[in-house]
């Protein structure tokens, strides 16, 4: 038989992960540039948006889980959002160790205002790509996330 023909995906250079990181960085640059005039950055915007989605009143732990980042990474972001007057931290009535997070009124306005910018960038990112392509893409990304975690787990066991 003939040799395996080279596949397009083998051309992702210098490696799949590096390529992923590259596209991510470019996307982040675009987001940061688009929302800078509002005093926002990508990480703060993401936290703000996920707080709304996760449900106001949730703990930092819960928000960190939604964001899939570690608690210490969130601590800094929360402090900044608080200083900007976009969120409030209130003591958890059931657990004196925990803090509940709430959007302020201007926090809610900010979320609404940001949504338009983010949507516009998303549209640009999807430009020229069909639903079919994007569905496969999403499917692969979802699977890769699982694969990466399995891989990490194996490495930790070893």
Partner DNA sequence: AATGGATACTTAGCATGCTAAGTAAGTTCA
Partner DNA sequence: TGAACTTACTTAGCATGCTAAGTATCCATT
CB of 98 to DNA, least distance (A): 3
Radius of gyration of the chain (CA): 19
Residue 29: CB minimum distance to a second copy, A? 6
Question: Given the rule CB under 7 A, which residues bind DNA?
Answer: 25, 29, 32, 41-44, 46, 59-61, 68-78, 92, 95-99
Give Dmax (Cα) for the chain.
Answer: 70
Contact residues for a second copy (CB under 8 A)? 7-9, 11-24, 26-31, 33-34, 42, 46, 49-50, 53, 66-68, 118, 121-122, 124-129, 131, 133-141, 143-145, 147-152, 154-156
Which listed option, DNA, a second copy, none, makes contact with residue 98 (CB within 5 to 8 Å by class)?
A: DNA
Pick one of DNA, a second copy, none as the site partner of residue 141 (Cβ within 5 to 8 A by kind): a second copy
- For residue 96, the partner it binds in DNA, a second copy, none, with Cβ less than 5 to 8 A by kind, is DNA
Q: How far is the CB of 127 from DNA (least distance, A)?
A: 22
List of residues 6+ apart from 62 with CB closer than 8 A = 54
Buried residues in 20-58 as b, exposed as e (16+ CB within 10 A): eeeeeeeeeebbeebbeeeebbbbbbbbbbbbeebeeeb
Distance CA 63, CA 8 (A): 38
């Amino acid at each position: 038989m003939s040799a395996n023909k080279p596949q397009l995906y083998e051309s992702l250079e210098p490696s799949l992960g590096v390529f992923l990181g590259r596209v991510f960085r470019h996307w982040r640059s675009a987001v940061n540039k688009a929302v800078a005039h509002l005093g926002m950055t990508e990480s703060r915007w993401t936290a703000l948006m996920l707080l709304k989605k996760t449900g106001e009143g949730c703990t930092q732990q819960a928000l960190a889980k939604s964001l899939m980042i570690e608690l210490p990474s969130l601590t800094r972001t929360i402090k900044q959002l608080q200083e900007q007057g976009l969120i409030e931290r209130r003591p958890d009535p059931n657990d004196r160790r925990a803090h509940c997070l709430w959007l302020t009124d201007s926090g809610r306005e900010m979320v609404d205002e940001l949504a338009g910018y983010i949507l516009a960038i998303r549209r640009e990112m999807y430009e020229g790509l069909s639903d079919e392509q994007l569905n496969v893409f999403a499917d692969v990304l979802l699977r890769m996330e699982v694969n990466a975690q399995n891989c990490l787990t194996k490495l930790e066991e070893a």
